[in-house]
Amino acid sequence: MKVKKYQADNMQEAMLKVKSDLGSDAIILHSRKFKKGGFFGFFAKKKVEVVATVEPEPATDSKDSKELKGELDQMKGMMNNLMGEIQKSKEESLAVTGNPILQKVVEALLNLGIDYSTAQDLARKIVKKTQGQVDDAEKLQQILKAEFENVINDIEPIKLEDDKTKVVAMVGPTGVGKTTTLAKLAANFSLLEGKKVGLVTADTYRIAAVDQLKTYSEIIDLPLEVAFTPQELTTAIDKYQGYDLVLVDTAGRSQNNQMHISELKSFIKKSEIDEVYLVLSATTKTSDLKKIIKVYTELEINKLILTKLDETDSLGIVFEAALEANKPLSYVTVGQDVPEDIKLPESKELIDDILEGLDL
Ligand code: GDP
């Protein structure tokens, strides 16, 4: 706000000054009479002082009022929609918490290894689809099945191409079964399908890991290359020209080790890897699974492999993994035996297996 002081010989003159300077919208804040000059109070001149201001112009940001009104109406509409949605979701949540059957559904989903927020979401969807009439267990199962089908829809194998070597890398935390899975795949493609398969291990962090794959490669009778650097990985892959499939094993360290992830990233980026499969164990805690997926999806994952399905009845983690990673599922493994304990399930069959453990 602009505040200015004016002095004049009389009020009329002061007002003229204010008007010519600030315009006729000026507001007088204060005025006083005083004496100026003189000698011991004699011969002093009477003066007037006026303090005035003008209200600042409203900031229109060069938009006219019609435009502003339009924007305001739009915002009002958005707010109303938002409030409506909040209210609806509040009502749906209340319908979940206030309904013992839905509480049971949430509990059963949690027992299946499904995350609490996912379980709540699923229960809310049930409310929506049944308009709150949720007393039919079969209907509940049907709705859940449909929701699972939305997430687990296409289950894809490693697709080989006729005139190209397909290079596939397995990544994931230590101990989930990467090497064993790779050996199972290698044996199936080479022994059962008659494909030319080469192996590379970039899992040189643990001596035991190299030995483990070496043993498998000797049993299946497949060549194995060891790569300590991204450059060596490129050279190793180049050696397999004319092969149908090259399977690359990588080191799995803690998902908390950022250095490891950047190292892996550079291995994958600098070599000619076509597809990256994230290997996850079905025995992982849901909260850990979310962390693992968050870290590993930095690597541009193509598909997911779920291992150790034989070790748990809570197969909900398979759904949670597909939902969280938003990637297609591929193979699942169901035991330690190479090569037989691996399969490419039908999505319907897998969903039935998962929901079989649901105790409603
Ligand atoms: P990596 O560290 O990810 O390479 O894991 P490994 O391949 O060394 O496997 C770790 C352990 O999990 C080994 O004892 C495997 O036999 C075991 N394993 C791998 N896959 C499965 C599976 O599907 N079911 C069970 N029960 N054990 C498995």
Together in a domain, 354 and 321: no
Are the CB atoms for 113 and 314 separated by under 8 Å? yes
Asked if the structure places residue 61 within a domain, the reply is no
Are the CB atoms for 345 and 305 separated by under 8 Å? no
Asked if the structure places residue 148 within a domain, the reply is yes
CA distances from 97 to 119, 144, 282, 316 (A): 12, 18, 29, 21
**Does the pLDDT of residue 58 top 80, yes or no?**
no
CA distances from 78 to 68, 71, 73, 83, 239 (A): 15, 10, 9, 9, 60
**Does the pLDDT of residue 344 top 90, yes or no?**
yes
Together in a domain, 146 and 187: no
What is the average pLDDT across 9-34?
88
Asked if the structure places residue 331 within a domain, the reply is yes
**Does the pLDDT of residue 126 top 90, yes or no?**
no
Asked if the structure places residue 72 within a domain, the reply is no
pLDDT in tens, 82-112: 888 887 777 777 666 777 878 888 999 999 9
Asked if the structure places residue 188 within a domain, the reply is yes
What mean pLDDT value characterizes the chain? 88
Residue 337 burial by CB count (10 A; 0-12/13-18/19+): exposed, middle or buried? exposed
Together in a domain, 120 and 208: no
Together in a domain, 115 and 229: no
Together in a domain, 129 and 176: no
205 lines ligand 1 (CB under 6 A): no
Asked if the structure places residue 67 within a domain, the reply is no
Asked if the structure places residue 324 within a domain, the reply is yes
Angstrom distance (rounded) from CA 319 to CA 105:
16
CA nearest ligand 1 atom 27, residue = 336
What is the average pLDDT across 31-51?
82
Together in a domain, 30 and 170: no
Distance from residue 176's CA to the centre of ligand 1 (Å): 6
Together in a domain, 170 and 254: yes
Angstrom distance (rounded) from CA 171 to CA 179:
10
What is the average pLDDT across 275-303?
93
User: Bridge-partner residues for 55, per DSSP?
Assistant: none
Segment holding 114, helix H or strand E: none
Specify the pLDDT at position 109.
93
Least-confidence region, from 73-87, 125-139, 221-235: 125-139
CA distances from 357 to 103, 114, 118, 120 (A): 17, 12, 17, 18
211 lines ligand 1 (CB under 6 A): no
**Domain span at 39:** 2-54
* Choice from 180, 216, 280 to test ligand 1 binding pocket (greatest atom count within 8 A of CB): 180
Asked if the structure places residue 108 within a domain, the reply is yes
CATH number of domain containing 322: 3.40.50.300
Q: Which residue has the higher pLDDT, 49 or 57?
A: 49
Nearest Cα residue to 324 out of 273, 286, 350, 360: 286
Q: Which residue has the higher pLDDT, 248 or 57?
A: 248
Together in a domain, 131 and 234: no
Angstrom distance (rounded) from CA 185 to CA 279:
13
Together in a domain, 150 and 189: no
* Choice from 179, 185, 336, 337 to test ligand 1 binding pocket (greatest atom count within 8 A of CB): 336
Structure-derived torsion over alpha carbons of residues 333, 337, 338, 341, reported in degrees to the nearest 10: -30
175 lines ligand 1 (CB under 6 A): yes
Number of compact structural domains in the chain: 3
Together in a domain, 109 and 258: no
Distance from residue 312's CA to the centre of ligand 1 (Å): 14
Least-confidence region, from 136-140, 306-310, 352-356: 136-140
Together in a domain, 209 and 332: yes
Together in a domain, 177 and 291: yes
**Does the pLDDT of residue 342 top 60, yes or no?**
yes
**Does the pLDDT of residue 40 top 70, yes or no?**
no
Residue 95's φ and ψ, nearest 5 degrees, are -65, -30
Specify the pLDDT at position 67.
85
